[in-house]
Amino acid sequence: MRKALFIANWKMNKKIAEARKFCEEFLPLLDNVTDVETVICPPFTCLHVLSAALQGSPVKLGAQDLFWEDKGAYTGEISASMLLDAACEFVIVGHSERRQIVGENDTVINRKLKAALDASLLPVLCIGETLQERENSMAMEVVKEQLHRDLRDIELSEGQLLIAYEPVWAIGTGVNASSDDVRKMIAFVRECLAKMFSQSLADSVRILYGGSVNEENIKMFLSKEEIDGALVGGASLQAESFAKIVRYKEI
Q: Which active-site residues does the annotation give?
A: 95, 166
DSSP E strands, 46-195: 60-63, 90-93, 122-127, 162-165
Query: Residue 206 in contact with residue 5, Cβ under 8 Å?
Result: yes
Rg of the chain taking only CA atoms, in angstroms:
17
Query: How far is CA 17 from each of CA 13, 55, 56, 221, rounded to the nearest angstrom?
Result: 12, 17, 20, 33
Helix (H, G, I), strand (E, B) or coil at 251: coil
Q: How far apart are CA 196 and CA 100, in angstroms?
A: 26
- For residue 170, the number of C-alpha atoms closer than 13 Å in the C-beta half-sphere is 22
